[in-house]
Amino acid sequence: MRKVLVFGTFDGIHEGHRAFLRQARAYGDHLIVAVAPDEVVERLKHHPPRRNLEARIDALEAEMVADLVVPGDAEISTYGVVKGHRPDTIALGYDQETLKEDLKQHLSDFNWHVELAILAPYGPTKYRNRCSTRAS
């Protein structure tokens, strides 16, 4: 079984999130979604999420795209969720550049091979002006 892990805030599921999750699923047969805890969202985005962690997890589970939806790590760059689930692939959104660079620095912390996959943006022509600033 090939496991795929994605990270995100998912504060209001929209079609871009759905496209992201469908693309990620194509990399394996077991999709795990790690949802950023409220305090991490606030640190990263400089404002609290509109919906709390439990509501964001419930919304993702209702989409029935992921095999497992879990809370993300309470501390940035610790990657306990990665170590706990041992994915074969970590799929990242086109706009998760900071996460990609941080993960690259931590790949040697994992005692198995993890592939990083960068997913295509949803509607890149339609949303061109927002592509460089949007976050999941």
Q: How confident is the model at residue 129 (pLDDT cuts 50, 70, 90)?
A: very low
* pLDDT (average), residues 35-49: 97
- CATH classification of the domain holding 9: 3.40.50.620
On whether the CB atoms of residues 122 and 19 are closer than 8 A, the answer is yes
* pLDDT (average), residues 2-6: 98
Q: Does residue 58 lie within any of the structural domains?
A: yes
**Structural domain for 45, as ranges:** 3-130
Number of separate domains in the chain: 1
More confident residue, 129 or 50: 50
Q: Does residue 20 lie within any of the structural domains?
A: yes
What is the pTM for the complete model shown? 0.89
Q: Does residue 135 lie within any of the structural domains?
A: no
Q: How confident is the model at residue 123 (pLDDT cuts 50, 70, 90)?
A: confident
125, pLDDT greater than 70 = no
Q: b/e per residue, 83-121, with b = 16+ CB within 10 A? A: eeeebbbbbbbbbbeebeeebeeeeeeeeeebeeeebeb
pLDDT at 126: 54
* pLDDT (average), residues 103-128: 87
